[in-house]
Amino acid sequence: MEALGIWNYWGVVLLMMIGLYTVIARDHLVKKLIGLGIFQVAVILFYVSMGKVTGGTAPIIPEGADGSEVYSNPLPHVLMLTAIVVGVATLAVGLALVIRIREAYGTVEEDELQRQNRAGS
Amino acid sequence: MSEHLSALIVVLPLLAAPVCLLLRQTRMVRAWTSIVAWACLCMALTLLERVHTGGVITYAMGGWDPPLGIEYRLDALNAYLLVIVTAIASVVFPSGVILTDTSLPEGKAHLYFAALLLCLAGLLGITSTGDLFNVFVFVEITSLSSYTLISLGKNRQALTAAFSYLVMGTIGGTFLLVGIGFLYQVTGTLNMNDLALRLPELLGSRTILAGFAFLMVGGSIKLAVFPLHQWLPNAYTHAPAAVSAFIAATATKVSYYLLARIIFTVFGAAFVFDALHLHWLLMPLAIAAMFAGSLAAVFQTDLKRLLAYSSIAQIGYMTLGLCMASETGLTGGIVHLFNHALMKGGLFLAVACVVMRTGSSSVNAISGLGRKMPLTMAAIVVGGLSLIGVPGTAGFISKWYLVVGALERGWYAVSVLILLSSLIAVVYVWRLVETAFFGVPEHEVCEVPWTSWLPTWILIGATLVFGIWTDVTVGGASAAARALLGVTP
């Protein structure tokens, strides 16, 4: 039962595997990018749930605090702001590449792209 | 001012990149990127000098003291790497072939130079920072700008190559992030030195082991360790030749540094090699890379793809140096890193010269060019000899140290394998020599202008110089190896 108690990590691993599977198994490039996005979001959730302290509130010290307040660890949350930006930038570059691939090949299906690449070279 | 140098070397190219968008004119942007690269080289040389005389330089970013704040920490290894990266940048950026082979629309060249500067900033950032999360951010800056640069190749295959690199690179980067998360979860710190202090008592923990595995796999994808190298040949083949020169000579080297840093500084050689026996996994992979890379290179019909496969083999040699975990072995690995940066950078630039004149990078394109483009072809020959490791070239020095390192460890079979795989290099280099000097000329071409052959020859000439005068390279590398192993000189 101990293993079930850390259900947040199970969720993270499940999402990660869904993402990775989508990247590997799908031929459509946009679907691959979506899978990549899910994969990254799983890691973001991993960090966010890591910072959560049971019974903790937002990490803001109220007036008249006596030091006994329990609050979540803000650092992993802050780190994830950066990781989200990285994820968005990756997605943007990826989608831009997909648009250019579509212009150059007329398709975004990977097996078709490989066929054209082989025929071309 | 001077105490801020270790931060400035990263910040300067980062801030210089948007300036490219304001300058817009290709000529001015080119001059600007070259000046920035040269300024970075000067800073890197000053820092190396200061590290060798005054010891480790630490810098608290924004005045926040480590371990809470981000620390930039330069020891003999980072400073050495900074010099390599900035030296390659300051030769490649001003080169006349920088725009050869690109599919840039008219008037968009300034964006290309901005991406080059961002890539440089990311590489320098990975090298100088002492904070693991900061490493991840810089890895992503480097990767994103290199996807852009690779996609600018002339053929449309560049786009698919960049896309698959994006997928592989993002998975690698995210693996690094997961690994960093595991370490943070257990130790509560992101600073590398602080981690090194806190980890020894926690090393048995499964979380730490999982974190280590994620970091290793993520780093190996970025370094293109065999069998995780699939993205590399396509990316190098279809990228613009100058971009291949820059990325092949710097990006994999910085990933190598990152792996070495994680293994030796964060976890410690005792844990990685004595407890986990990582070398029994990495060494066969390194040897497989040496043979598979060299053999694949023999059968390539494209010059850039040939060099890319040879890069995989060279990464194998460097990884082998890492596995030895001894001063000689690591010195060999790090010297090979330096020498390989010079020779692969020079060779890719020479190929860029070929592409500039013939419009093609196939091996047949250089047929009979030995008379038409003597300087470029001589550069390819000398660079090739250095890849083989002929005495008198830089490649000989690094292989010498690797063989001696293997013998010191009693790995006699390994030292024989290093020599055997070098013999395969003879085959592919000879193919180039034969085509260039005994083939029938297909193209009516003349030698490239001096702005193109001079940068090539600066790098190739350096492999000759450092093949004989080894004080600087080997001295710097062995200081770096001692810094990694924690031996006080």
Q: What is the pLDDT of residues A76-88, one digit of tens each?
A: 888 999 999 999 9
Closest CA of chain A from B149, distance in Å: 11
Inform me whether the pLDDT recorded for B488 exceeds 60: no
Q: How do residues B471-484 score in pLDDT, each as one tens digit?
A: 888 888 888 888 88
Inform me whether the pLDDT recorded for B146 exceeds 90: yes
Confidence of residue A37 (pLDDT cuts 50, 70, 90): very high
pLDDT at B204: 78
Inform me whether the pLDDT recorded for A9 exceeds 60: yes
One-letter amino acid at B346 equals: G
**Residue contact A93–B185, C-beta within 8 A:** no
pLDDT at B489: 44
Average pLDDT over residues B310-317: 91
Q: Which carries the bigger pLDDT value, residue B165 or residue B442?
A: B165
Q: Which carries the bigger pLDDT value, residue B369 or residue A37?
A: A37
Average pLDDT over residues A61-69: 76
Token pair recorded at residue A61: 């010290």
In this predicted structure, which of A65-74, B111-120, B369-378 has the lowest mean pLDDT?
A: A65-74
Q: Is B471 left (phi over 0), alpha (psi -120 to 50) or beta?
A: alpha
Q: Nearest-CA residue of chain B relative to A22? A: B167
Closest CA of chain B from A62, distance in Å: 23
Q: What contacts B223, CB < 8 A, 6 or more positions away? A: B252, B255, B256, B258, B259, B315, B319
Closest CA of chain A from B184, distance in Å: 9
Q: Within chain A, what is the greatest distance between any pair of CA atoms?
A: 73
Confidence of residue B173 (pLDDT cuts 50, 70, 90): very high
pLDDT at B32: 92
Contact B19, B39 (CB under 8 A): no
Average pLDDT over residues B294-309: 90
pLDDT at B26: 85
Q: Which of B445, B281, B303 is nearest to B383 (CA)?
A: B303
**Residue contact A50–B177, C-beta within 8 A:** no
CATH of domain A2-54+72-120: 1.10.287.3510
Inform me whether the pLDDT recorded for A67 exceeds 80: no
Q: Nearest-CA residue of chain A relative to B234? A: A117
Q: Which residues of B78-106 are buried (b: 16+ CB within 10 A; e: fewer)?
A: bbbbbbbbbbbbbbbbbbbbbbbbbbeee
Contact B152, B235 (CB under 8 A): no
Average pLDDT over residues A60-66: 77
Closest CA of chain B from A114, distance in Å: 9
Asked if the C-beta of B144 comes within 8 angstroms of chain A's C-beta atoms, the answer is: yes
Contact B6, B57 (CB under 8 A): yes
Contact B412, B403 (CB under 8 A): no
One-letter amino acid at B365 equals: A
Average pLDDT over residues B136-153: 92
**% of chain B with per-residue pLDDT over 70:** 99
pLDDT at B90: 92
pLDDT at B230: 86
Cβ contacts (< 8 Å) between A82 and chain B: which residues?
Answer: 133, 137
Query: Taking CB atoms and an 8 Å cut-off, how many pairs form between chains A and B?
Result: 69
pLDDT at B1: 62
Confidence of residue B144 (pLDDT cuts 50, 70, 90): very high
Confidence of residue B143 (pLDDT cuts 50, 70, 90): very high
**% of chain B with per-residue pLDDT over 90:** 33
Spell out which chain A residues touch chain B, with contact meaning CB-CB distance below 8 angstroms.
20, 23, 29, 32, 36, 39-40, 43, 46-47, 50, 76, 79, 82-83, 86, 89-90, 93-94, 97-98, 100-101, 104-105, 113, 117, 120-121
Asked if the C-beta of B291 comes within 8 angstroms of chain A's C-beta atoms, the answer is: no
**Residue contact A98–B163, C-beta within 8 A:** yes
pLDDT at A98: 94
Q: Which of A37, A10, A94, A89 is nearest to B174 (CA)?
A: A37
One-letter amino acid at B46 equals: T
pLDDT at B326: 85
Confidence of residue A66 (pLDDT cuts 50, 70, 90): confident
Q: What contacts A74, CB < 8 A, 6 or more positions away? A: A51, A59
pLDDT at A95: 94
Inform me whether the pLDDT recorded for A1 exceeds 60: no
Residue-range domain boundaries for chain B: 1-274, 277-489
Closest CA of chain A from B267, distance in Å: 22
Average pLDDT over residues B296-320: 90
**Residue contact B174–A47, C-beta within 8 A:** no
Question: Which residue among B137, B156, B174 sits closest to A82, beta carbon to beta carbon?
Answer: B137
Distance CA B487, CA B63 (A): 30
Closest CA of chain A from B140, distance in Å: 7
Main-chain phi, psi angles of B83, to 5 degrees = -65, -45
Q: How do residues B107-123 score in pLDDT, each as one tens digit?
A: 788 888 999 999 999 99
Asked if the C-beta of B159 comes within 8 angstroms of chain A's C-beta atoms, the answer is: yes
Confidence of residue B52 (pLDDT cuts 50, 70, 90): confident
pLDDT at B478: 87
Contact B287, B313 (CB under 8 A): no
**% of chain A with per-residue pLDDT over 90:** 43
Asked if the C-beta of B137 comes within 8 angstroms of chain A's C-beta atoms, the answer is: yes
Cβ contacts (< 8 Å) between B122 and chain A: which residues?
Answer: none
Distance CA B238, CA A25 (A): 25
Confidence of residue A4 (pLDDT cuts 50, 70, 90): low
Average pLDDT over residues B33-45: 93
What mean pLDDT, rounded, does chain B reach? Answer: 88
